[in-house]
Amino acid sequence: MKETAIVDSTALKQRFYKYLKENNIWWSPERLNYSLGLLFQGFYLRGKDVLEIGAGHGLFSIWCAAQGANKVVAIEPEAKGATQGIQQEFRKVNDAVDIEGKVEYMPSTIEDYLAIGQIKSFDYILMNAVINHLDEEATIRLHLPEAESARQRYRSIFKKIFDIMRRDGVMLIYDVGRLNFWHSLKIRNMFAPSIEYNKHQQPQQWGELLRECGFELIDIRWITLYKLRYLRCLLSHRLPAYFLDSAFILRCRKP
């Protein structure tokens, strides 16, 4: 079998980081390395194929390519409102950085993408702050005993994702938990004012559904804000997270 050539990513990484700095992008190289370093901790990207679901402007996908990923598919449904014009933003970065064709950006939902057929398989599937958006109405009800139809809705999605992962492939999920100190007081979270906690679920809830679909849970970790990263050893636990933004990382594997 002919081996896939792995392109040296050093020059791409330099161009990408230079672009972020020169354009004062909120996701600076340091912030990307911190956040994605936590997600991929213990894993390597060189020569791997990645699917990012809900890719936004595609910066996470480009980061993966800059770390040596072989091929990255970034999907983001473009619609009216917040995501309108988002593909043009990706093209702007693409033109400025020249990502060497390593990232394929598709304006699509995960369901539409899976319906294409003959989908390639992936080593990593990345979801950053998007798992609850796969079906917000179902997410709101997942924890309720009578909400079996909502759980079945997510099982259907997870099983399809499971099918396009390679054996020993890993799904990496970042999100926030439903339980939060500020939300319990019914006031806006001073650390993350835009989060609607009622539209999220605890990582254990997601982990249970993923196991039912054949995934093997690797770990669940509570993480701290980038601005508090130097206190990570003290704050990256369930209780401090509850008083901050309730952010977590969940990673699972296809056995």
What percent of the chain has a predicted confidence (pLDDT) above 90? 79
> What are the tens digits of pLDDT across the range 191-226?
999 999 999 999 999 999 999 999 999 999 999 999
Q: Is residue 115 part of a domain?
A: yes
Q: Which of 61-65, 98-102, 153-157, 199-203 has the lowest mean pLDDT?
A: 98-102
Q: Tell me: the pLDDT tens digits for 159-169?
A: 999 999 999 99
Question: Phi-psi bin for 246: left (phi > 0), alpha (psi -120 to 50), beta?
Answer: left
Cα angle for residues 96, 90, 64 (degrees, 5° grid): 85
Q: Please indicate, yes or no, if residue 185 is contained in any of the structural domains.
A: no
Whether residue 44 is contained in a domain is answered as yes
Q: Which helix (H) or strand (E) holds 252?
A: strand 247-253
What pLDDT, on the 0 to 100 scale, is given for residue 233?
93
195 located within any domain = no
Radius of gyration of the chain (CA): 18
Copy the structure tokens of residue 190.
Answer: 């001073």
Check if the beta carbon of residue 94 is closer than 8 Å to that of residue 103.
yes
Question: What's the whole-number average pLDDT of the chain?
Answer: 91
Residue 84, domain CATH: 3.40.50.150
How far apart are the C-alpha atoms of 214 and 66, rounded to whole Å?
Answer: 31
Domain that holds residue 67: 10-173+201-224+249-253
Confidence tier at 101 by pLDDT (50, 70, 90): confident
Q: CA 168 to CA 117: how far, in whole Å? A: 22
The single residue listed with the structure tokens 């130097």 is: 230
Task: Evaluate whether residue 230 is within a structural domain.
Answer: no
The count of domains in the chain is 1
In tens, the pLDDT along 20-30 reads 999 988 899 99
Quick check: is 182 in a domain? no
Helix (H) or strand (E) holding 206: helix 203-212
For residue 137, tell me if it sits in a domain: yes
Quote the CA–CA distance of 44 and 52 in Å, as a whole number: 16
Tokens of 45: 């990207």
pLDDT on residue 89: 85
Q: Is 136 inside any structural domain?
A: yes
